[in-house]
Amino acid sequence: MQKEILRLAIPNIISNLSIPLLSSVDAILMGHLSEPYFIGAVAVGGIIFNFIYWSFGFLRMGTTGLVAQAYGKKDNKEILSVLYRALLTAIIIGIIIILVQSLISRISFMLINASDDVEKYAKTYFHIRIYAAPAVLSLYAFQGWFLGMQNARYPLYILVFLNIVNIIFNVLFVKYFGMNADGVALGTVLAQYLGLGLAIILYLKMKTSGSTFIHFAELINLSAIKNFFRVNFDIFIRTIALIFAFSFFTAKSAEFGDTVLGANTILLQLWTIFAYGADGFAFAAESLIGKYKGAKDYLKLKIAVNSVFVWGLIFGIIVTLVYVVFLESLINLYTSNQEMVKLALYFSAWTIYTPVINSICYVWDGIYIGATATKAMRNAMLFATLLIYIPSYYLTYDIWGNNGLWFSLTFFMFMRGATQTILAKRYIFRFK
């Protein structure tokens, strides 16, 4: 079991860490420009795309759980049907997003209270990067399908390739062509479509080894479609709440001024690095829990749950130790603005000591998705967001200021994990 978890988790950790590496390079490129509003512009633009893309994260998560269960049942037709449904959904949504970009932009910048300079460059960033939407969402579907097929290597190849290409484009456009936020956005668009091309090539290579052709009637099977959208709607609501939590954090950071926004953005980048690493174990849980549930092997399912938690907690402890030793150096890597560095160091405890707390809810997410117990995961997220996070912020921000904002985010993560732990007896360990 331990070897199986690591076989799936290690490639996922490596591929996942390439994602915050990209955003870190973007932050470094912007943080070393002449004005602090450049890094703020990319951060604010990132909020909007987090809302857009993470909202449709079900195209990866739901696909993984459904494909893994079909894989456990050895249902080859359903394995392909889930992918095609996800890809069709991704392309339609991506085109709609491009068509309604003006409306999204108006609403987004009305809700985010940033400075005029930040808003100006964030809008430029937004209206370029939006054209990557069909590629981004299609890549979600492919990644979820590969993971459901117990193949963690292909998502690794795709994400590492995509992010290396993206970094090369971004450095080229910013450092050599004199661009700023617009260069970062353009580099992202080009890289996403190249990454999609690689995903199609790898899929065709894998499909020739045992997959079967499906008819259109099987693709539009009403019972399967209903299950597909039931699972994905729960994940959609859960993801919207999670995006709201982090977007609320960045929006409130912006109200404290550009320097605090920059400092919080840097520290949140380090949260994100850990989150993507911990998601390697969550992705492994999705694949294994889905497979064992589909095969009705409940003993191995229990063993997998316990084992993946041990690895997640170990990873959290290691990251905390790394931050204790290297945090100041990491912050200085992100920016040469010394006022921003001092502020980030002042609030750094919220980043150093939270990885163990955060690892619990990340791992539970993977377990719930693999078991397709998405209703319970959705309810836990809504409870933590609406009844814990928002009230705790408004009760503490007048007294603690930015510390109150960080406390609220940390308490939110803790309560997500606690609620999922309580619900697990009913939704994960009660077998039918």
Q: Tell me the per-residue pLDDT of 205-226, one tens digit each, with 9 for 90 and over.
A: 876 555 555 655 555 666 666 7
Average pLDDT over residues 153-169: 87
Give the integer Cα–Cα distance in Å for 259 and 263: 6
Query: Is residue 35's pLDDT more than 70?
Result: no
Q: Which is more confident, 420 or 300?
A: 420
Q: What integer pLDDT is reported at residue 95 of this predicted model? A: 94
pTM tops 0.85, yes or no: no
Asked if 301 and 293 count as a contact pair (C-beta separation under 8 A), the reply is yes
Asked if 184 and 125 count as a contact pair (C-beta separation under 8 A), the reply is yes
The domain segmentation of the chain, as residue ranges, is 2-427
Q: What integer pLDDT is reported at residue 225 of this predicted model? A: 67
Give the integer Cα–Cα distance in Å for 216 and 239: 30
Give the integer Cα–Cα distance in Å for 344 and 347: 5
Sole residue written with tokens 């450095």: 171
Asked if 271 and 354 count as a contact pair (C-beta separation under 8 A), the reply is yes
Average pLDDT over residues 384-409: 92
- Mean of pLDDT over the chain: 82
Q: Which is more confident, 431 or 182?
A: 182
For residue 34, the SS3 value is: coil
**Which residue blocks in 100-115 are alpha helix, DSSP H?**
101-111
Left (φ > 0), alpha (ψ -120 to 50) or beta: where does 150 sit? left
